[in-house]
Amino acid sequence: MKRLLAATLPLAPLTALLLAPLAALQAAQTVPTHESDVVVYGSTPGGFCAAIAAAREGASVILLEPTTHVGGLSTGGLSHCDSNQMRRETLMGLFDEWHRRVVKDYTDRGLAAPYTPALKDAAKWTFEPHVAMRVTLAMLKEADVTVLTERCLTAVRKNGTRITSVVTKDGAFSARVFVDGSYEGDLMAAAGVDWAIGREGRAEFGESFAGKQYPKKEMDISGFDDAGNLLPLVTTSDAGPRDAGDRNVMTYSFRLCLTRDAANMVPMPAPAHYDPARFELARRAFKAGVRGVGLDLYPLPGGKLDGNNSIQGQISLGLVGGCNTWHTADEAGRAGIWEDHKQYTLEFLHFLRTDPAVPKKIRDGFASLGLCKDEFAGTAHFPPALYVRESRRMKGMHVLSQRDITDSPEKDDAIAISSFPMDSHDCQRIALKGGGVINEGTVLPVRVPGTGFGYAYHVPYRSVLPQAAQCTNLLVPVALSSTHAAMASLRIEGAWMVIGQGTGVAAALAAKQNASVQDLPYPVLRKRLLAQGQMLQLPPTPAKKAAAKAPDFIP
């Protein structure tokens, strides 16, 4: 018991791996303990697919979600499936089944199929959030996965290199194998596994897309007020050396579900407070004729629109710099950051709808939009999930880098194939001292030359494995071992679904054999992956074609 107590790793905040006071440790030992073969923490697409895959291998599975929302962005507003830029013939297994069931949900109700999953082309696949949620919950229920929400991690108990249980405020959960399915890598960090945040320097892994990135045009406006202070929404006047890394994270935002259908419209909420001065930068941009102040819109079934931060835009839904402390924040801290992003979103939309500096056509376009009455009723129709595009990244047995994507895609321990173009949203917005403002950190989509697709590459089993000296019964499919440049490709829901499935199968096998995850024989894992429909054969290089069309920009 003394050894177990000493190995209990609490979170206060989530990343602080310091021993708690004795009273807190004793309290952690008295909470009810629930047992299963596999515990998955975080119901992101990688998390819920890991849970389903493990359960289908015969494991008893508990899926713990720290919030009230199940499904991450796949059910939280990201309703234009980004797989149109991926090699869809490699996205099989649960990804393919999930999409076939989404379409069946429509056709069973006598509605037209919104897309055709059997065709592995570059067509747009779109769906409504409530349909995605219905399908996700049904698949979890059919797999007999126990889903528990509002189970925020407070501590991890370890015996040597093995996690024995995770503790939440509503109980402890023990298992033979654990899967960290969170966007943030919270369980991984709490278990004492090494991780990285932000961006590497270019020399560290020899990556051209590491360090600072400046693909966007400089805005010919000042980023300073009359007193020489930075304007709101400008993050710095010194971006740092071009080749150097930093701890900046690509911007977060919400994926809004919008409509112009009056019969299904909820008026856009007014912000809790509104400061016109916050948008002086955007005001100056409009006056100078800068293009790219607004958001991307993707048409959805049901007369709806998916509103996204514009990766090519200058000022959009992303609160640049607002997410840099998300990974270190505790539950209350993240709630505050979530509210900050919601407040910014509502203020930005209010500015675009009402400010005289905004051209009338644009004001009218935004004034015609509202939230959807039949979506997200539990959160007043505003999306419940913040788009955490990247957070911690594990320092595991193999660190996937840019070279693994473009130069050395084949691995001998593949558990999935990913192929989304490397792309990163803004990380900084810089006021230049000689005049001008420029966004930094953007990587515009890196595709196979002459095609609309990203590079297809293996995701090796080693990239979801911690170092054995740190933990031997944990798998990490979402905050997996990669550089920032590689995460710019891995960070997409379709990729996380297939990686999650591969991880779930491995978790169930390791639990059944009572083996360390590092010692699981790959041929055994490969056999079961193929049996679950996973595609592991890299596709041939695609034929040249027209580049993917940019999304519609409002207005």
Task: Characterize the bridge pairing of strands 177-180 and 38-41.
Answer: parallel
Q: How far is CA 511 from the centre of its chain?
A: 27
| pTM assigned to the model | 0.93
Q: Whose CA is closest to 381, among 268, 525, 473?
A: 268
206-250, pLDDT tens digit by residue?
A: 999 999 999 999 999 999 999 999 999 999 999 999 999 999 999
The structural domains of the chain, ordered by start, are: 2-8+25-177+490-531 (3.50.50.60)
274-290, pLDDT tens digit by residue?
A: 999 999 999 999 999 99
Q: Kindly provide the b/e burial profile for residues 344-353, where b requires at least 16 CB atoms within 10 angstroms of the residue's own CB.
A: bbbbbbbbbb
106-154, pLDDT tens digit by residue?
A: 999 999 999 999 999 999 999 999 999 999 999 999 999 999 999 999 9
Mean pLDDT across the chain = 93
- Averaged pLDDT, 40-45: 98
- What's the CA gap between 486 and 421, in Å, rounded? 10
**Does residue 476 contact residue 389 with C-beta atoms inside 8 Å?**
no
pLDDT for 379 equals 97
366-411, pLDDT tens digit by residue?
A: 999 999 999 999 999 999 999 999 999 999 999 999 999 999 999 9
- What's the CA gap between 404 and 388, in Å, rounded? 24
How crowded is the C-beta side of 131, counted as CA atoms within 13 Å?
25
Say which residue, 16 or 496, is predicted with more confidence. 496
- Averaged pLDDT, 498-526: 98
